[in-house]
Amino acid sequence: MSTGLPIAWLIARGSGLVAFGLLTLSVWLGLAMSTRLLPAKRTKTLLGLHRTLAWTGLSMLVLHVGALLFDPFLHFNLLSVLVPGAATWKPGSVAMGIVAAWASLALAASFNARKWIGQKGWRRLHFASFGAFWLALGHAVITGTDLKGFGGVATVVLAAGPVLTLSFYRLLAPRQVPAARRAQPLPVAA
């Protein structure tokens, strides 16, 4: 018995939106931690939440991609969901989503590679989160059928507003030097 509803398409849409929401929350939290707007004594807990949001978002992304493979109308195959530019349906905006997904996976995996790439390398790698976020947002708005009209505008404002605000704050606010790194007075020569 068929209901006539394209179940795979509904799952792909829902899981894609949830993945975007979770990964956006992870970006917001990462930016808020990097600006030191959140209490330092909560860093370990917040970092755990940041990682959980990222990996949960990626698991929803796997569901999104998997559901697209079963969609009877778009006819995606493994190559078209894993390789940027290989999709025949909206290849540019689908490629944006694929690149964002691979970048997000690399960023999430970097949590476990931190001891090998070092703190400085890890922080540099995390600048890719900006590109991943903007590509994912573009993918959602251009490709997503649920984000046309006011829904798309509202999503852009709600998702991008905190990213822009926290980014500008991070760039423009004076950095506080931790007490341990503050210059100690030089001894007076006798």
pLDDT of residue 12: 94
Place of tokens 């423009």: 172
Question: What pLDDT, on the 0 to 100 scale, is given for residue 14?
Answer: 93
What local confidence, expressed as pLDDT, does residue 72 receive?
87
Distance from C-alpha of 175 to C-alpha of 33, rounded to nearest angstrom = 13
Please give the angle made by the CA atoms of 126, 127 and 129, to the nearest 5 degrees: 70
- What does the pLDDT read at residue 28? 95
Q: Look up residue 41 and give its amino acid.
A: K
Contacts by 37-46 with C-beta closer than 8 Å and gap 24+?
37/166, 37/169
Confidence (pLDDT) at 114: 86
Structural domain boundaries in the chain = 7-171
pTM summary value: 0.85
| Runs of H (alpha helix) within the chain | 7-34, 43-69, 78-82, 91-125, 128-143, 150-172
**What residues of the chain score a pLDDT lower than 50?**
1
Q: CB of 108 within 8 A of CB of 55?
A: yes
d(CA 144, CA 169): 30
Q: Under a CB-based contact definition with an 8 Å cutoff, are residues 64 and 20 in contact? A: no
CA distances from 10 to 5, 7, 29, 53, 82 (A): 8, 5, 29, 22, 20
What pLDDT is attached to residue 91?
95
